[in-house]
Amino acid sequence: ATESDRWFERNRSALADPAHAAHILEFLGQNGISPKSVLDLGGSNGSKSAALRPLSPHGEWVVLEPSRAAISDGLPHAAQRRR
């Protein structure tokens, strides 16, 4: 396993908590920011991008992640997140 896979396994439970994106949602909402495109570098399983997507449902979202474990974890939800 790579270090990125090990990081994902150590942090998997925290990523499942919707509150992990709350501070970003709060900041963007308070400042009226609705991005047209988002590049999430090191986006893990995509859960944070999924939590933020309602701010820009028609925007372009790209999540890049080196961990195969994180990608595998996020793939079952990817189609749902695109909607």
Threshold 0.85, pTM exceeds: no
pLDDT for 6 equals 97
Tell me the per-residue pLDDT of 11-58, one tens digit each, with 9 for 90 and over: 999 888 878 888 888 998 899 988 899 999 999 999 888 888 888 888
Q: How far is CA 35 from the centre of its chain?
A: 14
Decide: 73 and 4 in contact? Cβ < 8 Å: no
So what's the pLDDT on residue 25? 87
What does the pLDDT read at residue 79?
64
Q: For the segment 58-82, what is each residue's pLDDT rounded down to a tens digit?
A: 889 899 999 999 999 998 877 665 5
The confidence score (pLDDT) of residue 80 equals: 65
Tell me what pLDDT residue 2 has. 95
3-state secondary structure 1-14: CCHHHHHHHHHHHH
